[in-house]
Amino acid sequence: MTDFRPDPAFAAGSIAAAEWPLCHVRLQDDARFPWLILIPRVEGAVELEDLSVEQRAVLMEETVRAGALVRRLGAVDKLNVGAIGNVTAQLHVHVVGRRRDDGLWPDPVWGRGPAVPYADEERARLLDLIAGG
């Protein structure tokens, strides 16, 4: 795991936020939704099957941890969790907080509308919260 690098495409819409035992954690820079991206630091991983049984178990626990953290980042009625990878093949898991009154409810958020970047102060506050969580 020492040669791990997130796909450069992640830099366009998200910010490095934390390093957990398995995953590099990023904050999606879209104030419409509290949203974390977990990227397992496993070189060449594209699908869940590319992880060992132990790594899959850690990923599940980190996904649950991310869900709890997303609930602290903003108001959430439902968590959406997905490992789609159609745009960026590198294995990653989105953990997105949704509200019944958000502009896209009940539709999926992926690829829908332009992102609304966080204001600098709010982004810094959320990054601090993530780093502590």
Regarding the domain delimited by 8-132, which CATH topology (the fold level of the hierarchy) does it fall under? HIT family, subunit A (3.30.428)
Residue 2, pLDDT > 60, answer: no
* Burial grade of 49 (CB within 10 A; 0-12, 13-18, 19 or more): exposed
Q: Provide Rg for the chain, Cα atoms.
A: 14
What does the alpha-carbon distance between residue 4 and residue 44 come to, in Å, rounded to a whole number?
A: 9
Q: What CA–CA distance (Å, rounded) separates 52 from 10?
A: 24
* pLDDT tens sequence across 37-55: 999 999 999 999 999 999 9
pLDDT of amino acid 78: 97
Alpha-helix residue ranges (DSSP H) falling in 45-108: 53-73
Domain ranges, ordered by start, for the chain: 8-132
Q: Which pLDDT score is estimated for 3?
A: 75
Angle between helices 53-73 and 120-132 (to 10 degrees): 130
| pLDDT exceeds 90 at position 4 | no
Q: What residues contact 70, with CB distance under 8 A and at least 6 apart?
A: 34, 35, 36, 76, 79, 95, 96, 97
What integer is the mean pLDDT of 12-19?
Answer: 96
Instruction: Answer yes or no: is pLDDT of 35 > 60.
Output: yes
Tens of pLDDT, residues 73-115: 999 999 999 999 888 999 999 999 999 999 999 999 988 889 9
pLDDT at res. 86? 87
> Could you tell me which residues come within 8 angstroms of residue 50 by beta carbon, excluding any fewer than 6 positions away?
42, 44, 91
Indicate if the pLDDT at residue 1 is higher than 50. Answer: no
